[in-house]
Amino acid sequence: MLERLGKYEILEAIAAGGQGTGYRARDSESGDVVALKVMHSGHTGEVQYLEALRQEANLASRLDHPNIVKVFDFQVEGGTIYVAMEYVPRVLRGEMQPGTPLSPGRAVELAIQVASAMAHAHQHGVVHRDIKP
């Protein structure tokens, strides 16, 4: 497992997906706990992919909404691409159980929050591409 990326001390792996692996990490300068998304190495040589990620991180860093994760940093170090984001320990995934539907009221609450976040992003010229609970 990774131990450090730039100014970030890796604390634990928290997720894995098609684009990369997520880690809980500590910013050694501020002491803040952040989420690091470390991209899989297969795309590091693709200039177009790297620029798209950089632009997406730059646009996302400008958004300020309670239902949008804040983006703090985008870095490429030694062929490793990573994004530092707000760490949100309580996610909707913990509320949802396979085979157990949400109550209609809760589903509506969540839909309103998602719609509000998407509207905010759209108002700032950001088209959503990666909506997560």
Higher model confidence: residue 87 or residue 96? 87
Interval 17-63: pLDDT, tens: 888 899 999 999 999 999 999 988 776 567 887 888 888 888 888 89
User: Could you tell me the residue ranges of all domains in the chain?
Assistant: 4-123
Q: Which two tokens stand for residue 86?
A: 């707000």
pLDDT of residue 45: 62
What mean pLDDT, rounded, does the chain reach?
Answer: 87
CATH level 2 (architecture), domain 4-123: 2-Layer Sandwich (3.30)
| SS3 assignment for 42-98 | HHCCCHHHHHHHHHHHHHHHCCCCCCCCCEEEEEEECCEEEEEEECCCCCHHHCCEC
Closest CA to 72 of 131, 40, 11, 29: 29
pLDDT > 70? residue 92: no
Q: How much is the average pLDDT of 98-127? A: 90
The C-alpha atoms of residue 108 and residue 6 are separated, in whole angstroms, by 41
Active-site annotation holds for 130: yes
Interval 23-34: pLDDT, tens: 999 999 999 999
Q: How much is the average pLDDT of 64-77? A: 91
Of residues 32, 64, 73, 130, which has the active-site annotation?
Answer: 130
The C-alpha atoms of residue 120 and residue 126 are separated, in whole angstroms, by 9
Q: How much is the average pLDDT of 82-107? A: 84
Provide the pairing of β-strand 33-39 with 20-27: antiparallel
